């Protein structure tokens, strides 16, 4: 198709969002530099997590899908099993960190002041005030967004994406980069399935096709329904990580 052309697919006009060649070259260079610098810091974090036997989760979703509710539920279910720490990412408030702090779990709030995602440098700084000594599981709640967080490695072991029923069943198809990279997807707010047009079987098929290794969980984070399976998976991963670091408790 010629550059900048309009394609007519089944009567729908689709414009390709193409920048001019020069603009594109500058943008690609800039993006490569930013991502390269982030990857180097993320690698440092990954090495530190490996040395300490910390299993780390990068929790991603649209705003309001239920990330903090999932974190709260995990705090309640896991606090007697593993030693947890939480980093909360938010544009301006500390509301999510306040929710987590009620569980007596060490928590640090990062405010991005407009930034649509966390980056490795932010996590590195957060760890200066969050003592990781003895921590076995680090949960990092990213800024609510299904686009930007996917590109920024935080040194995590796994990306966990929360997709809630009211968002609609087209989200994996619309945001494939995020869903493809997820080690686990929580299909949350399953209690709302009767009230929304959401083809659960199709979404599951699409997710499996994108990433056959991916774990799928159906959850109601508010009540804890389905969360035991998530807990069992995480406990397993934590034990594996601790063993690899030569830590026996």
Contacts with ligand GTP, residue ranges (CB under 6 A): 61, 63-69, 96, 144, 188-189, 191-192, 220-222
- Which listed option, ligand GTP, Mg ion, none, makes contact with residue 220 (CB within 5 to 8 Å by class)? ligand GTP
Told to check if 96 binds Mg ion by CB under 5 A, we report yes
- Taking CB positions, which residue lies at the least distance from ligand GTP? 144
Torsional class of 11: left (φ above 0), alpha (ψ -120 to 50), beta (otherwise): left
- In whole angstroms, the minimum distance from the beta carbon of 89 to Mg ion comes to 9
Pick between residue 69 and residue 242 the one whose CB is nearest to ligand GTP.
69
Number of chain positions touching Mg ion (CB under 5 A):
3
- In whole angstroms, the minimum distance from the beta carbon of 177 to ligand GTP comes to 19
- Which listed option, Mg ion, ligand GTP, none, makes contact with residue 58 (CB within 5 to 8 Å by class)? none
- Which listed option, ligand GTP, Mg ion, none, makes contact with residue 145 (CB within 5 to 8 Å by class)? none
Which residue from 67, 73, 159, 171 is in contact with Mg ion, where contact means CB under 5 A?
Answer: 67
Pick between residue 41 and residue 60 the one whose CB is nearest to Mg ion.
60
């Amino acid at each position: 198709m010629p550059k900048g052309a309009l394609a007519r697919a089944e009567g729908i006009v689709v414009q390709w969002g193409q920048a001019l060649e020069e603009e594109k070259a500058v943008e690609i260079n800039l993006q490569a530099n930013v991502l390269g610098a982030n990857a180097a810091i993320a690698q440092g974090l990954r090495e530190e997590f490996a040395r300490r036997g910390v299993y780390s989760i990068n929790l991603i979703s649209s705003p309001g899908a239920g990330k903090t509710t999932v974190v709260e539920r995990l705090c309640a279910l896991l606090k007697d099993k593993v030693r947890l720490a939480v980093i909360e990412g938010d544009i301006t408030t500390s509301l999510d960190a306040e929710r987590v702090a009620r569980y007596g779990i060490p928590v640090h709030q990062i405010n991005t002041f407009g930034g649509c995602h966390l980056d490795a440098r932010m996590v590195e700084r957060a760890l200066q005030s969050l003592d990781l000594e003895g921590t076995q599981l680090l949960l990092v709640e990213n800024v609510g967004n299904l686009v930007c967080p996917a590109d920024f490695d935080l040194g995590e072991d796994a990306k966990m994406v929360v997709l809630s029923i009211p968002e609609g069943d087209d989200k994996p198809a619309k945001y494939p980069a995020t869903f493809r990279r997820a080690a686990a997807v929580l299909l949350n707010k399953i209690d709302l399935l009767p009230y929304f047009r959401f083809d659960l079987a199709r979404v599951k098929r699409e997710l499996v096709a994108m990433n056959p290794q991916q774990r799928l969980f159906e959850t109601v984070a508010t009540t804890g329904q389905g969360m035991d399976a998530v807990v069992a998976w995480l406990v397993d991963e934590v034990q594996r990580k601790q063993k690899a670091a030569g830590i026996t408790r």
